[in-house]
Amino acid sequence: MPNLAFAGLVGGGWRDLAFEPFRDGVTAHWLLKGGPVEPSVAILKYQPGAGVPRHRHAGLETIVVLEGTQSDENGDYPAGSVILNPVGTEHSVWTDGGCVVLIQWDLPVIILGETK
């Protein structure tokens, strides 16, 4: 497979992409859709008040907040923030006002419970 390049995403180019349902209140545009044992990269768009229940990271997850603010039990991450969630870490994720993130995960997360 050749290298994949996506120009202008950080500058707002993600707004022109097609999104599909991902989970309640969250849509996704897949840049690279892996499988159960393969990495994935996506842009996730969270509606205001949306979140992801408490989960454990089976692989490294890297997030770049492109717009809005994403929150978890450790704090609030405004646009421009980079968040690394190493293997074995747990948290839930939410956004009060909505946000858009670029996310890469090595392996799918393991859902543990309900959102905040």
What is the band of 113 on the pLDDT scale with cuts at 50, 70, 90? confident
Residue at 90 is within a domain = yes
CATH assignment at residue 66: 2.60.120.10
SS3 state at 34:
coil
| Residues 15, 29: Cα–Cα separation, whole Å | 10
What residues make up the domain containing 82? 27-111
Does the CA dihedral 33-90-53-70 come out positive or negative?
A: negative
How many structural domains does the chain have? 1
Residue at 63 is within a domain = yes
Cβ contacts of residue 51 below 8 Å, gap of 6+?
25, 92, 93, 94, 95, 115, 116
pLDDT one-digit tens code per residue, 2-49:
788 888 888 899 999 999 999 999 999 999 998 888 899 999 999 999
pLDDT one-digit tens code per residue, 36-83:
888 999 999 999 999 999 999 999 999 999 999 999 999 999 999 999
pTM of the model: 0.92
| Residues 95, 99: Cα–Cα separation, whole Å | 7
Structure tokens at 94: 């939410």
